[in-house]
Structure 1
């Protein structure tokens, strides 16, 4: 019976750790357009790993397809951070 404990422990730990992208992930970012210069702050849902680097890669393409240039990803966070950013993002809240 002792020999079964270690594999069970490892299995439970793998299940509990789960992939980094399992939970909802959001990023707040800053972007711009030129001629005329326009700036905006926004919040977007991102897929994949919940890291600044992954969010930057995803948002760069998504914003670029809409004529915006990503300046930077401010932070990445879970659903608990949405409410506090909604007012600041205005019309760019979950737009892109």
Structure 2
């Protein structure tokens, strides 16, 4: 009886982490360009962690993160697809 419970306890952390996404706003200068996007977040699912993770990803492509709009799970993903357009899960 103890072995199945131990197995479940060890597996719980691997299955407990749900997917995390952030929607954000970013800009480029000269000329000014703005974009709204959605990105998957691998670390902690909060705005501060999302910003820390996204800032370097966007910078590699010449974008500056302006702000994290929100963080959410799979339930909010599809409703943001059209608004994000080409920046849906791009960075």
TM bin, normalised by shorter chain, reads: 0.7 to 0.9
Select which of 71, 85, 89 maps to 2:84. 89
Q: How many pairs align? A: 85
Q: Does structure 1 residue 56 correspond to structure 2 residue 41? A: no
Listed as ranges, the gaps of 5+ residues in structure 1 are 1-7
Select which of 18, 26, 32 maps to 1:23. 18
**Separation of aligned partners in 2, 1:49 and 1:91:** 25
The alpha-carbon deviation at position 22 of structure 1 amounts to 1.6
Structure 1 runs (4+) greater than 3 angstroms displaced: none
Compute the RMSD of aligned alpha carbons: 2.1
